[in-house]
Every structure is written in structure tokens, then in C-alpha cells.
């Protein structure tokens, strides 16, 4: 659980560095939550990438995977609660729904691309297995899928921020 | 930054209605202040329902609030 606190500290540090209250107050609650989700995703999956070399057994990988899932859920709950205290949530209107739809569309393309690459790798189409000595094929697939999910979430959050900032 | 071919007079109408705040208009229409701001600046085209709600909030006909200007986006006007 200590790394959850480390990640939490990183997020709070990042937020405190860029905490221009004027800018925060001009954002919608949805944009603030997109920033929070982006920070949580980058922090948790950054930790995942850093820990992958140390998780070589199936048990260690399972432990790491469950750990990041729990970390994402807990951190999102805590961060969203803080965001709600800073900025009162407003109701969702048609522009919010249109922006969310476009963000999910962008994320879908990334998820589909990552899943396609993973399938190709499963078929030994991208990098031949002998070149991946020491890294069991299931482990590669797990890492590829986890990072695909992370990339899709990053693109979703970045798209939300982009569309809200641009004013679309 | 792309703008829509739909122009509007919301800023002018807000001024004519006692400098109505964007938040007040947003509350009347049922959207967020940021959405009113995006519509007013021509960055978002509202749905027909929200367009009618905005016009209703000002007590004005729809065409007084919104004007379609295809020429501004390089579209040719329909031949008669």
C-alpha cells in the first residue's frame, strides 16, 4: 500500500505545481476530472512500467496487476472527492456528451490498434519469439494489453482536455 | 480553432436584456455556462432544442438569434 501513498503524493505535487485557481475555476467539473484522471493514469501506469522488470513470475505479475487496479480505483475516488470539494459538479449537458463521445471514439482507435498489435504478436508476426528470450509470451501479452488500456485512457483524458480547452 | 458556419447574436441579446449574465442564460436554458460561452463564440453549434430554448429565453424568434452563413465557410449559396 505504500506505493499508493507515493503515487498520491506525486499527484498532489503535480496538482500543487500547476494550481492556478483562476484557471481551475474557469474549468468545468468535467475538465477538472479529466485532468485528475490523466494524472492518476500516468502516475499508476508509470509505476507499472517501472515495476515490470521486477515482476517476472506469474504470481508477481498478478500481484502487480491487482495492485494497479486497486490503486486506480482508490486514487480516482480520493482525487474526485477532492476535485468535487474544489469545484461544485454541474449537470451534464449536450456539449459534455458530445465531447465525451468524441473522446471515447479517439480512445477506441487506440485500444483497437493496441489489441491488433497484440494479436499479431500472439501469432509471432511482429517480433519472433526467439528475440524475446526470457520474457514468456503470456507476460508480453499481459503487458501489451495493460499498456493498451493505459494508452487508451490517456488518449481519452487528453481528448477531453483538448476539446474543452479548444471550446468545441 | 474551427468555428461553425452558424452566427449568433446572443452577446447582443444578453446586452439588450439588462446585461444578462452567461450563467443566468445557462440556468434558463439548462446547460452549463461554458456551453453558452462556446455557443456565443461560435465554437459549438447547439442542438435544435437548445437553440429554441435560447431563443425562448430572449423571447425572440430563432432566426433573430441564429443565422446560417455558409458563405463564410466557402460554401456557395443555393441557386434560385
Q: B12-55: per-residue pLDDT in tens?
A: 999 999 999 999 999 999 999 989 999 999 989 999 999 999 99
Q: Which three cell numbers stand for residue A123?
A: 501469432
Residue A91 at interface with chain B, using a CB cutoff of 8 Å = yes
pLDDT tops 60 at residue A57: yes
Q: Which of these, A32, A44, A41, lies nearest to A3 by C-alpha position? A: A44
First to last CA, chain A: 40
pLDDT of A71 over the 60 cut:
yes
Element (H, E) at A77: helix A58-86
Buried b (16+ CB within 10 A) or exposed e, A97-116: ebbbebbeebbeebbeebee
> Which residues of chain B neighbour A164 with C-beta distances below 8 Å?
34
Contact A18, A134 (CB under 8 A): no
Count of residues for chain B? 80
Selected residue with higher pLDDT from A125 and A13: A125
Q: What is the pLDDT of residue A27?
A: 75
On whether ipTM exceeds 0.85, the answer is: no
Using a CB-CB distance cutoff of 8 angstroms, which residues of chain A are in contact with residue B52?
none
Residue-level pLDDT at B1? 45
Q: In the prediction, which pLDDT does A73 show?
A: 93
Alpha-carbon gap, residue B32 to B15, rounded angstroms: 19
Question: What pLDDT is attached to residue A30?
Answer: 85
Cα four-point dihedral sign A150, A81, A92, B65:
negative
Going by pLDDT thresholds of 50, 70 and 90, the confidence category of residue A98 is very high
Question: What pLDDT is stored for residue A26 in this prediction?
Answer: 66
The residue written with cell numbers 425562448 in the block is B56
Judged by CB atoms closer than 8 Å, whether chains meet at B43 and A167 is answered as: yes
Lowest mean pLDDT among A63-77, A79-93, A133-147, B29-43: A133-147
Q: How many domains does chain B have?
A: 1
Q: Mean pLDDT throughout A90-116?
A: 93
- Helices A137-166 and A94-122 sit at what angle, rounded to 10 degrees? 160
Give every CB contact of residue A158 below 8 A, 6+ residues apart in sequence.
A38
Q: Dump pLDDT digits (tens) for A114-124.
A: 999 888 877 77
Cα separations (Å) of A33 from A42, A79, A105, A109, B5? 14, 8, 19, 22, 31
What are the φ/ψ torsions at residue B68 (nearest 5 degrees)? -90, 120
The answer, yes or no, to whether residue A2 has pLDDT greater than 70, is no
Q: Give percent of chain A with pLDDT exceeding 70.
A: 76
Q: Which of B1, B2, B50 sits opposite A94 (nearest CB)?
A: B50
- Asked if the model's pLDDT at residue A154 lies above 60, the reply is yes
The verdict on residue B20 lying in a domain is yes
Question: Pick from A28, A167, A168: which is nearest to B32 by CB?
Answer: A28
- Look at residue B1 and tell me if it is in a domain: no
Asked if the structure places residue B52 within a domain, the reply is: yes
Phi and psi torsions of A135, nearest 5° = -110, 105
DSSP state for residue A133 in the 8-state scheme: T
Residue of A nearest to B44 (CA): A168
Domain that holds residue B14: 6-73
Contact A41, A153 (CB under 8 A): yes
> What is the structure's pLDDT at A139?
77
Amino acid at each position: 500500500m505504500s506505493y499508493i501513498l507515493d503515487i498520491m503524493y506525486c499527484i498532489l505535487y503535480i496538482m500543487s505545481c500547476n494550481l492556478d485557481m483562476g484557471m481551475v475555476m474557469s474549468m468545468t467539473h468535467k475538465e477538472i476530472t479529466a485532468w485528475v484522471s490523466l494524472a492518476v493514469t500516468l502516475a499508476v501506469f508509470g509505476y507499472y512500467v517501472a515495476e515490470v522488470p521486477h515482476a517476472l513470475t506469474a504470481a508477481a505479475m498478478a500481484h502487480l496487476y491487482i495492485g494497479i487496479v486497486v490503486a486506480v480505483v482508490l486514487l480516482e475516488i480520493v482525487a474526485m472527492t477532492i476535485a468535487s470539494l474544489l469545484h461544485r459538479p454541474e449537470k451534464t449537458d449536450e456539449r459534455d456528451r458530445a465531447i465525451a463521445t468524441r473522446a471515447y471514439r479517439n480512445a477506441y482507435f487506440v485500444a483497437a490498434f493496441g489489441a491488433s498489435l497484440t494479436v499479431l504478436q500472439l501469432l509471432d508476426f511482429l517480433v519472433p519469439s526467439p528475440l524475446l528470450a526470457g520474457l514468456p509470451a503470456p507476460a508480453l501479452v499481459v503487458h501489451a494489453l495493460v499498456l493498451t488500456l493505459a494508452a487508451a485512457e490517456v488518449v481519452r483524458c487528453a481528448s477531453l482536455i483538448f476539446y474543452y480547452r479548444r471550446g468545441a | 480553432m474551427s468555428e461553425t458556419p452558424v452566427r449568433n447574436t446572443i452577446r447582443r441579446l444578453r446586452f439588450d436584456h439588462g446585461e444578462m449574465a452567461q450563467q443566468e442564460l445557462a440556468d434558463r436554458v439548462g446547460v452549463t455556462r461554458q456551453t453558452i460561452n462556446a455557443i456565443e463564440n461560435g465554437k459549438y453549434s447547439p442542438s435544435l432544442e437548445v437553440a429554441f430554448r435560447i431563443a425562448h429565453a430572449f423571447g425572440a424568434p430563432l432566426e433573430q438569434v441564429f443565422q446560417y452563413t455558409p458563405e463564410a465557410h466557402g460554401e456557395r449559396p443555393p441557386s434560385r
